[in-house]
Amino acid sequence: MGEALRLLDERDACGGLRQRIREQRLAELKAKIQVGIEELERGEGIDGEEVFAEIEEDIRRAEAQMQQVEAAK
Alpha-carbon gap, residue 62 to 45, rounded angstroms = 26
User: In angstroms, what CA-CA distances link 16 with 13, 23, 41?
Assistant: 5, 10, 37
Q: What is the pLDDT of residues 10-39, one digit of tens each?
A: 776 666 788 889 999 999 999 999 999 999
Q: Which residues contact 45 (CB under 8 A, 6 or more apart)?
A: 39
**Within 13 A of 41's CA, how many CA atoms are on the CB side?**
6
The answer to whether the pTM exceeds 0.75 is no
**What domain count does the chain have?**
2
Residue % of the chain over a pLDDT of 90: 59
Side chain identity at residue 20, one-letter code:
R
pLDDT of residue 14: 66
Structural domain for 67, as ranges: 47-73
Side chain identity at residue 58, one-letter code:
D
Same domain? For 37 and 53 the reply is no
Q: Summarize the confidence of residues 49-67 as an average pLDDT.
A: 96
Same domain? For 34 and 59 the reply is no
- Average pLDDT of the chain? 89
